Amino acid sequence: MSDDATTGTPFLIDAGGDPGTGPRTFADGAAGLEAAGYDGIFAAETKHDPFVALTAAAMRTERVDLMTGIAVAFARNPMTVAETANDLQLVSGGRFILGLGSQVKPHIERRFSMPWSAPAARMREFVGAVRAIWSAWETGEKLAFDGEHYRHTLMTPFFSPGPNPHGTPPIWIAAVGERMTETAGAVADGLLAHTFTTERYLREVTRPALERGAASAGRDAAALGISVPAFVAIGETDEELARAIQATKGQIAFYGSTPDYLPVLALHGWEGVHEKLNAAARRGEWKTMGEHVDDEMLAAFAAVGSPAEVAAQLRARFGGLATRLSFSASYPIRPELAGQLLAALRTA
């Protein structure tokens, strides 16, 4: 994606996150983020349903893209997701992006009481089923999706909303591992990278896997989006920056203790750090785990410094690689700093 001629920004800049305070408060915040100049707003699925939060946000905004980042696919079925996404596309006037993720086996089976198997293959089929449902509504042709995991063969005119005047929403898939990334390349419109990633992992593992998946389906990987939620440790004073660094190291340590994310560390030769973090997590040493993350690891995962310095690092790392960028912080960023960072990215 080339630089925008007006802003000079090599990627769209998104904001948002966890609507943990509820849909109404999330919608109020969305209006403010649109006014601040962000290109998109995403809602995660934690304490509240992201579709509800974004529906509320759609009623309070006019310009920004609205994305689930992510909605848990396997907690639902393709028909319910197709209906909800279609409605949000209507409510938002064509600004909705359906971001789907698999979650992990314990949550799917024990929190949602839903089946878990072959997540990459199941996700591929899930997306295919959603698109088949949308196609049946668009064309009026018989719904005939018969897969290994999902089967949708009944759609009468009474239950069909018909064609969406804004078209069908894009579908993006969250992925860390190579198989799910290949799936995104084969069937999705974009990839939602995890916060626990590095420029090197994106270039050497993620991008090639996305290209392999696209090639397997006869698609052009260059047409697919990549969204990166980048760690930022930002501050104007030494004290403020030190707090941001400490919090960011703690969050990196939290993710680094999880076996699912070991491949990212292994690429850098940090398997030993994972072993220490995993052992510390088993002992419940959450508050001190960040001590295992040194400055080299911090610099690989996070952009660190003043707003201008962080903006320069983000441009250098992700310009020409990411098409959408957002900021990930496990500490409160002052609105003034966030505004300066956004302005620095726009005007560099």
- Concatenating the DSSP letter of every residue in 4-69 gives PTTT--SSEEEEEE--TT-HHHHHHHHHHHHHHT-SEEEE--SSS-HHHHHHHHHTT-SSSEEEES
Structure confidence at residue 19 (pLDDT): 79
Check whether 1 has a pLDDT greater than 50: no
Structure confidence at residue 16 (pLDDT): 82
Report pLDDT digits (tens) over 182-212.
999 999 999 999 999 999 999 999 999 999 9
Check whether 291 has a pLDDT greater than 60: yes
The token pair at 18 is 């966890």
User: How buried is residue 307: exposed, middle or buried, by Cβ count under 10 Å (0-12/13-18/19+)?
Assistant: buried
Structure confidence at residue 2 (pLDDT): 39
Check whether 137 has a pLDDT greater than 90: yes
Least confident of 10-19, 22-31, 175-184: 10-19
Structure confidence at residue 348 (pLDDT): 62
Q: Pairing mode, if any, of strands 225-234 and 324-328?
A: parallel
Check whether 4 has a pLDDT greater than 90: no
Report pLDDT digits (tens) over 234-248.
999 999 999 999 999
Helix (H, G, I), strand (E, B) or coil at 325: strand
Structure confidence at residue 10 (pLDDT): 87
CB contact set of 72 (below 8 Å; sequence gap of 6+): 45, 100, 101, 102, 103, 107, 108, 112
Strand partners, 146: 151
Closest CA to 11 of 249, 275, 326: 326
Structure confidence at residue 6 (pLDDT): 40
Neighbours of 63 (CB within 10 A): 12
Neighbours of 153 (CB within 10 A): 10
Average pLDDT over residues 332-344: 94
Average pLDDT over residues 290-298: 97
Report pLDDT digits (tens) over 142-156.
999 999 999 999 999
Average pLDDT over residues 43-68: 96
Average pLDDT over residues 327-346: 94
Give the percent of the chain with pLDDT over 70: 97
